[in-house]
Amino acid sequence: MEKLNSRWVRRAGTAVAIVGAVAVAAGCATASGAGTGARSVGIAGFSVLQTANKQVIADFQKTAAGKGVAFRQSYGASGDESRAVLAGQKVDEVHLSLEPDVAKLVDGGVVAKDWADGPEHGVITQSVVVMVVRKGNPDHITGWNDLVRPGVRVVTPNPGSSGSAKWNILAAYGSQIAQGRSPAQATTYLKQLIAHTVALPGSGHDATTAFQGGTGDVLLSYEDEAIEARQAGADFDYVVPAQTLLIQNAGALTENASPAAKSFLAFQLSKQGQTDYAKQGFRPLISSIRVPVEGANDPSNPFPQPQTLLTIDKDFGGWKVADPRFFDPTHGIVTKLLAAAGKS
């Protein structure tokens, strides 16, 4: 498999979609518990995956390994999904926004310690942080410095529940470092950005819904979320800033995953699976995949290379360093800034 060079909450009842078993062949065992049969797969995923997984699952069920396999799915804010599985929700696969949400399941004995040892390093899907703007970009948003201009109102998910929020905030901080500013200046920028933030919805999907409903002037989001929303008819534009962060969505099988789940994960990482995700706006893990993507700024060239593409490992020391530094519940840089602004 040819790779790209770089390695790629509250549990709100209304925000979590439980999708019933789909396309179960007559006579096949249905998913029990939450997808624990040999021919069933239970998935817990971050909210944006709900639409993207439909085609992946449909194409998997056309294969010999996927024929007759039943799926039960739960989608919501990544942190919420991780906590639900840790609390006892039985699933076969977790596909979450970021590595720390899987690491909690390793600590809880739900996921094996070697979950990220494969060639993909535990990554199933990837994207970049973008800025979603009103149609025609009336505020002329082109980069990070525009977000803290007078009068600009920003929407981003809440880092207490949403993995996408953490990617967004780190992208904002990293953009300042990439422009030659000091860590202190980058922290000051985050303070300004938080002051301009008018909504902190629970998940990336909820943030998009709020923006579509008229909240804010700019939405910080995944590129795939913006593309997917436009495919569904959303009437907005998006900007890939010159400095942005590579989003690497982590996935793993649980310790007692079904044989069907193992086959499904292999399909997700295959050329067909990655092509399906690419058509939904995710940047494919396989560099040779080239497909037109409806809803992208340029469907024929849907994934432009940013001037500076930051990564969590290279620019932040990995999640084991970044998560406590920025998001520790008591001492994290962002935690303190949100509390000081009365927005925690």
State residue 323's pLDDT score. 97
Tell me the HSE value of 262 on the side-chain side, using a 13 A CA sphere.
8
What residues have CB less than 8 Å from 84, skipping those under 6 apart?
11, 44, 74, 76
State residue 232's pLDDT score. 95
Helix (H) or strand (E) holding 184: helix 183-196
Buried (b) or exposed (e) across 76-96, using 16+ Cβ within 10 A? Answer: bbbbbbbbbbbeebbbbbbbb
Query: Is 72 in contact with 31 (CB distance < 8 Å)?
Result: yes
State residue 29's pLDDT score. 27
Tell me the HSE value of 40 on the side-chain side, using a 13 A CA sphere.
21
Residues 270-297 have pLDDT tens digits of: 999 999 999 999 999 999 999 999 999 9
Domains of the chain: 17-125+248-279 (3.40.190.10), 126-246+303-340 (3.40.190.10)
Tell me the HSE value of 251 on the side-chain side, using a 13 A CA sphere.
26
Query: Cα dihedral sign for 334, 339, 343, 344?
Result: positive
CA dihedral (13, 15, 16, 22) in degrees, to 10, reads 120
Instruction: Give the chain's residues under pLDDT 50.
Output: 1-36
Helix (H) or strand (E) holding 314: helix 312-316
Q: Indicate the pTM of the whole model.
A: 0.88
Query: Cα dihedral sign for 162, 168, 174, 176?
Result: negative
State residue 38's pLDDT score. 79
Structure-token pair, residue 226: 């913006």
CA dihedral (133, 136, 137, 142) in degrees, to 10, reads 100
State residue 161's pLDDT score. 86
Query: Is 27 in contact with 145 (CB distance < 8 Å)?
Result: no
